[in-house]
Amino acid sequence: AFVKGRWLNKSLYEIYEKEFSTKINQNTIKYRNLKVNGQLACNVNVILKSNFTIESTHHFHEKPVLDQEIEIIHNDENLIVCNKPNSMPIHPCGCFKHNSLQYILARKFKKHFKIIHRLDALTSGIVMLGKNVATVQKFGQLLKNHDVKKTYLARVVGDFPDDEQIVCDRKIFYSISKAAGVTDDRFGKESETVFRKIHSEVVETDKGKVLSSVVYCYPKTGRTHQIRIHLKCLEIGRASCRERV
């Protein structure tokens, strides 16, 4: 990574402690092969300057994802559309790389596909990926202009109301302390989701038999984890079954 503006004239130790909540020492430099400008850092007090680079090696094992064949729904010269299983991120992020949808498809088709839109790792559903820049720009503009309607299905705990539709417009704020999105009408961003019940039924879970409802979800905005957060905050709703919030 190139040194960011906020890192200038600060030491390696300060940056790792503040940005990554990690206290480093000489052993860290040795075992993570921590380098500044391509050379092994002489100590943790190296002062970072403009145009410096930092690199390190950290060995870890990726988290597993569902061993499930990815269903290809459509495939032409410009676009590939597939059904993403849950547990799998769209692209490399955090502790995922090779187990991301983008990398799995690249191994299968020997071709790199470009991201058009995203689904949460825990969410299964239809994903479009582009084969060229023009296609990505075309669909990206449609999404930006809200010319594409998104529909999700969620299974929630409890008997969801039979109203024609229920609207939740609580603002969503990303809380650093909780490392999660929360409803916050003061600091949050505008968010809106429309819900409509399909049916209720009793299902078998790891906690026994539970009354649940299947609900149509129509997000009008695209905040991270928006549907699950709005379901959780509805007084008459419940958190999604088998999904963390």
pLDDT band at 244 (very low <50, low <70, confident <90, very high): very low
DSSP states of 74-140 as a string?
Answer: EE-SSEEEEEEPTT--SS-BTTBSTTSHHHHHHHHHTSPPEE-----TT--EEEEEESSHHHHHHHH
pLDDT band at 91 (very low <50, low <70, confident <90, very high): very high
Contact yes or no for 191/223 (Cβ under 8 A): yes
pLDDT for 235: 62
For residue range 122-165, what is the model confidence (pLDDT) as tens digits?
899 999 999 999 999 999 999 989 898 899 999 998 899 888 89
Query: Rounded CA gap, 6 and 183, in Å?
Result: 30
* Cα angle value 105/108/113 (rounded, 5°): 35
Cα 14 to chain centroid distance, Å, stands at 28
pLDDT at 243 over 60: no
Across 76-170, where does the E strand assignment appear?
Answer: 79-84, 114-115, 125-130, 152-157, 166-168
In this structure, what token pair is assigned to residue 174? 């990303």
pLDDT band at 110 (very low <50, low <70, confident <90, very high): very high
For residue range 13-24, what is the model confidence (pLDDT) as tens digits?
999 988 878 899
Active site residue 159: no
Kindly state the average pLDDT of the residues 45-56: 92
Query: Rounded CA gap, 135 and 6, in Å?
Result: 36
In this structure, what token pair is assigned to residue 155? 């299974």
- Cα dihedral: 124, 159, 203, 219 (round 10): 0
For residue range 198-242, what is the model confidence (pLDDT) as tens digits?
999 999 888 899 999 999 999 999 888 899 899 988 864 444 544
> Which entry of 76, 120, 163, 206 is annotated as an active-site residue?
120
pLDDT for 136: 96
pLDDT band at 175 (very low <50, low <70, confident <90, very high): confident
pLDDT band at 58 (very low <50, low <70, confident <90, very high): confident
pLDDT at 35 over 80: yes
For the ranges 58-62, 145-149, 171-175, 184-188, the lowest mean pLDDT is seen at 58-62
pLDDT band at 46 (very low <50, low <70, confident <90, very high): very high
DSSP assignment, residue 85?
Answer: P
Residue 200's H or E segment, with its range, is strand 193-205
pLDDT at 82 over 50: yes
In order of 38, 111, 119, 123, 176, the CA distances from 115 in angstroms are 31, 13, 11, 16, 27
Kindly state the average pLDDT of the residues 50-78: 91
Query: Rounded CA gap, 240 and 180, in Å?
Result: 16
**Pairing label, strands 79-84, 208-219:** unpaired
What percent of the chain shows pLDDT beyond 90? 63
Contact yes or no for 28/65 (Cβ under 8 A): no
pLDDT for 245: 37
